[in-house]
A and B are shown apart, each in its own frame.
Chain A
Amino acid sequence: MALDYALFLGCVIPTREFGLEVSAKKVLEAFDVKFHEMIGAGCCGTAGPIAAVDFLTMAAIAARNICIAEEMGMDIITFCTGCAGTLGKYNKLLKEDEHLREQVNEILKDINKEFKGKIEVKHSLDVLVNDIGLDKIKNSIKKKFNGLNVAAHIGCHAVRPSDIRKFDSPERPILFDQLIELTGAKSINFLGKNLCCGAGLIGVADDYSLALVREKLIKVKAAGADCMCTICAACHLQYEMSQLSLKTKFKEDYNIPVLHYYQLLGLSMGVKPEEIALQTVKIKADNVLAKLK
């Protein structure tokens, strides 16, 4: 039976992280997930420029997006961890808080929309683990990575705030490591593994953002990682772009390829590298491919 979802792409993925969009679609479609375009969906409302400036505007913009999926009669799936966090939060708040719902619906009246509270918002991680299941994923594996050390970075919003995300432990998540290890790779430990990558400060305070990600890269390198694996578009962008800037600005070369999880899984499901847009990865991942048996 097909799993039908309204696909919420967000901002970063369709304009910058093409590899994530291509690989997530390819891999999830193999498990009978069907994506339906959300016509007219835009930015989720995002924490920085909107939520930190005005709460009610944020709630209304999130609700507008949710309404599109409600009209389609489908739950939302998003590959973006930030969008899963914001849309998930406001979906829950608007369902529970009648006063807020009234305020928001008053605003939405002008655009002929009404939040009804009929759908759920899911991250593709939720779909992988809860709807498809680890066993089914395991059975789809055709090739295994041999001796590949992966530094996993799940990203804050996949697990926090835990009263909204309810995916895994907010402090010591393990499901993402289990997903990685299905491919035969080893998810290694490193200091500060669950700390923020600093992507939230890109453009706001670039020096602090770079200082934070540099701390992480040093520890990933020291732990002997062959590559990093992310699920979040912003984290992925941060780990790749920061390696490029650390190289040009400070002559520090970490040379750690960063793969989207769907690329790692896709390779081990026997999908060709170009079908999961492996060529879009900015730090060549030949060492990863060499360990696929």
Chain B
Amino acid sequence: MKLNPKFKDEITKIHGGEKIKLCYQCGTCSGSCPITFITKAYNPRGFIQMALLGLKEEVLTNKNIWLCTGCYSCYERCPQGVEPAYVIRVLCSLAAKTGNIPAATKAGAQTILKQGLLAQVTDFVQKQREKLGLSRIGQTGVEEVQKIAKKTGFDKLVGL
């Protein structure tokens, strides 16, 4: 096991991770978390502890960090204002940069880059819309989204 004491400083430099050092491990985040209620494999307090201790590799390769539903209960309740939901998201983005992205997340991102939407616009969809008196789905700005992704390197991150 390798400890990287500078890992927490790396996190505070990224938007959303600034306040991680304020965490005093009370566990309000995990106690409020609907996913922790379903599975102890998802434990935001524990992930933050690992990050603070410098267990960089362990936390970034833990595929459970991607289980946040984004309900923001922890965000509202954290007595230290750590914004755990954002901290977890920063951990995910750092994991992504080391190639650790769940297949479903990657597939979702690829769909957005190919369609402009996180959904398939099929003939069935267009026909259903017409039947209900809704206009057909037109331009989704997909070329512009692709240009943005190319410039930020997002396309390569998600394997395109």
Contacts from A to B (Cβ < 8 Å):
10-12, 14-16, 18, 21-22, 37, 39-43, 46-57, 60-61, 64-65, 68, 100, 107-108, 110-111, 113, 156-157, 160-162, 170-171, 195-196, 198-201, 203-205, 208, 211-212, 215, 277, 280
Contact = CB atoms under 8 A, between A and B. Distances in A.
Contacts of A211: 38
Interface string B25-42: 000000000110111000
Given A42-B145, A49-B105, A170-B76, A55 B15 contact: yes
A22 B71 contact: no
Interface of B: 14-16, 34-35, 37-39, 66-73, 75-76, 85, 89-90, 92-93, 96, 101-102, 104-109, 111-112, 116-121, 125, 128-129, 132-135, 137-142, 144-145, 147-149, 151-154, 157-158
29 contacts: A12-B118, A14-B137, A15-B121, A16-B119, A18-B132, A22-B133, A41-B140, A42-B142, A42-B145, A46-B108, A47-B70, A48-B70, A49-B109, A49-B112, A53-B92, A53-B101, A53-B154, A53-B157, A55-B93, A64-B148, A100-B15, A156-B71, A157-B70, A157-B72, A160-B75, A196-B34, A196-B69, A208-B39, A277-B132
Contact of B144 (A15, A64, A195, A200): A64
B69 A161 contact: no
A198 B34 contact: yes
B101 to A, nearest CB: 7
B60 to A, nearest CB: 13
B47 to A, nearest CB: 13
B23 to A, nearest CB: 18
Contact of A203 (B37, B92, B108, B147): B108
Contacts of B104: 203-204
Given A55-B15, A68-B141, 13 more contacts: A18-B132, A50-B112, A52-B89, A53-B101, A54-B157, A64-B145, A110-B147, A161-B75, A171-B76, A196-B34, A201-B35, A201-B67, A203-B107
